[in-house]
Amino acid sequence: MMMNRVAATLLVLCGWAFTPLAFGATIHVPKDHKTIQAAIDAAAKGDTVLVQQGTYTQSIRLKEGITVKSAGDDSKGNIGLKRAEDTIIDGGGAGAKGPSVMMAEGSTLDGFTVTKVGVFDQKEYEKHYATQGENLPDEKGAVGVGKNFPALAIPTVTAVVKNNLVHDNGQAGIGCMGKGNASLISKNVVFRNMGGGIGISDGATPTVQGNRCYNNLRSGIGNRNSAALIVANECFDNVRAGIGMREGAKPIIRGNKCYKNQRAGIGCRMEGTSPYIEDNDCYQNKMAGIGCRDGATPFIRGNRCYENTLAGIGSRDSAQPIIFGNKCYRNKEAGIGTQLSARAFIAHNECYENEKAGIGQQSDAETIIGGNHVHHNKLAGIGFDECKAGRSTILNNKVVDNTLVAIGIHSGWKVRIAGNELSRKDGLPPIVMVFKGSEVDFSDNTITGSGVAGIRTEGVVRVVNNKFKCPTLRKGGGPPQFAVWGLPGSEIVFTGNTVEGWRHALAADKASVIASHNTVCDFWQVGIRITEPTKPAVAIGNVFKTNLDHSGVSISGTQGIVEDNRVEKDVEKK
């Protein structure tokens, strides 16, 4: 007896208390009750209503703690489970006045088709599909807005909705609404609804896992002012995004496949919308793989975005994303793109084989770009289109083997480029191109190549403490081969750099030039060549190493200040 008391005490202290296991009753439809609702009304908490195959034209309202389940095993059918395909709740079509299924606290719906709650309008669907939902009003079919109602509703309760087919309804498929709603929505197939497939709104925090959502008029999974956990779903061919967020939604979106949607694979918009988007595959969407706009602040990490019609990851309209550790490749535009006053932090991504830039910026964006690997893109590695007042800092990136330039900067930009590895093999374009009307600071970069120039500039550049390497010196004749090439009208400060193998370390025509304390070796004929400078040129304290009869500085036209430059025998070249 004493031992039993001790054991019982230990179990209580450990948080384990034995209570008799209560098994609820099973109520059969139509054997015990002809309708599902009659069986629910007769059920008590813990009971299961088991429904045989058939079509039930009715609406049902579940009770607390009961399970409504279709009869049969989990054999696969054509779309989902066979028992779900064969056990149908028919909402009656155009006459539907509300949801066909209303969940209750602690209830479960397992394995039904929920359909014809209102009318799926094929003509209207096709109209919006053709225009990518551009003219679709925000309130059309949105869960929790106005008089809209979903086919299957989970209103301010925590319930389980699993293994169901929800399709061909006049508004949203599944609607999950309200604070305190921590429901599980799992393994459903939701398609052809005149709203979102699954809509989450008004403070709900469900787990949405393993669902397939396609051919819906809005997003496959839509989030509004909610904080769901959305994992391992498949969302494709929806009129809007595969997964969409707005109005302050803060979901965690992880491990989903979003593809062939008419807009973004994953899209977020509006101030206060700040999702965590991680480890998703977003591909072949008609817009971006992942897109953010209108002041949204997503954290976008470790995703794979490829073969999208626009950018792999795109931000615009004052969005402020953190874009970290993603792979963006084979997109029709940029791998990562920012525009229209977006402010983006772009770090440790790999962007390659995109049709235009690996990372592209437009129209007054502000970006910090750090630690990325950008390679084998068909135009620029990092590109800046013309704008009025863009700003960017480019730190510690590896930008190599892009078809045209490593970095191209058009007018309107102020850019700092520091600590990067920039290179490309032979080719006519320069490694970096700075256009008129831009202002760029280069420091502590390694720039390697054998094309026409390391940096070719029409704008204002300050080039400080960089290393320029050219593997094969071109000894006269043919195209230029200059570490820095200043075009007419440019302004150049060139100081503290190490230059090896370029025909000229600096060649500038009709430009403003200050060149000081650079070390130049393995050059051809003249280390620094300045022709007709726009103001007196300055060349001070430069060292030129050569074993040939070459000169250090050549200035033609207006003479400048040329002091303390020296030519030394390059002992290492003997």
Contact (Cβ atoms closer than 8 angstroms) between residue 147 and residue 139:
no
Q: From the CB of residue 352, how many other CB atoms can be counted at a distance below 10 Å? A: 19
Mapping DSSP onto H, E and C, the string for 368-397 reads: EEECCEEECCCCCCEEECCCCCEEEEEECC
User: Distances from the Cα of 374 to the Cαs of 110, 307, 342, 370, in angstroms?
Assistant: 48, 17, 21, 11
Name residues whose C-beta falls within 8 Å of residue 370's C-beta, 6 or more positions apart in sequence: 345, 346, 347, 348, 393, 394, 395, 396, 397
| pLDDT at residue 143, rounded to an integer | 80
Task: Determine the 3-state secondary structure of 159 from DSSP.
Answer: coil
pTM over 0.75: yes
For 364, phi then psi, to 5°, come to: 65, 30
Cα 215 from chain centroid? 22
| pLDDT at residue 4, rounded to an integer | 41
Intra-chain end-to-end CA distance of the chain, in Å: 99
Contact (Cβ atoms closer than 8 angstroms) between residue 268 and residue 246:
yes
| pLDDT at residue 216, rounded to an integer | 97
| Half-sphere exposure of residue 226: CA atoms within 13 angstroms, side-chain side | 32
Amino acid in position 464: V
Q: Six-digit token pair at 258?
A: 């979003």
Contact (Cβ atoms closer than 8 angstroms) between residue 479 and residue 502:
no
Q: What does each of the 574 residues of the chain score in pLDDT, given as a tens digit?
A: 333 433 433 333 344 333 334 479 999 999 999 999 999 999 999 999 999 999 999 999 999 999 999 999 999 999 999 999 999 999 999 988 899 999 999 999 999 999 999 999 999 999 999 999 989 887 777 887 777 899 999 999 999 999 999 999 999 999 999 999 999 999 999 999 999 999 999 999 999 999 999 999 999 999 999 999 999 999 999 999 999 999 999 999 999 999 999 999 999 999 999 999 999 999 999 999 999 999 999 999 999 999 999 999 999 999 999 999 999 999 999 999 999 999 999 999 999 999 999 999 999 999 999 999 999 999 999 999 999 999 999 999 999 999 999 999 999 999 999 999 999 987 789 999 999 999 999 999 999 998 899 999 999 999 999 999 999 888 877 789 999 999 999 999 999 999 999 999 999 999 999 999 999 999 999 999 999 999 999 999 999 998 788 899 999 987 789 999 999 986 555 4
Quick one: CA dihedral 357, 362, 365, 366, positive or negative? positive
| pLDDT at residue 548, rounded to an integer | 84
Contact (Cβ atoms closer than 8 angstroms) between residue 8 and residue 28:
no
| pLDDT at residue 437, rounded to an integer | 98
Contact (Cβ atoms closer than 8 angstroms) between residue 208 and residue 182:
no
Dist CA 350 CA 377 (whole Å): 11
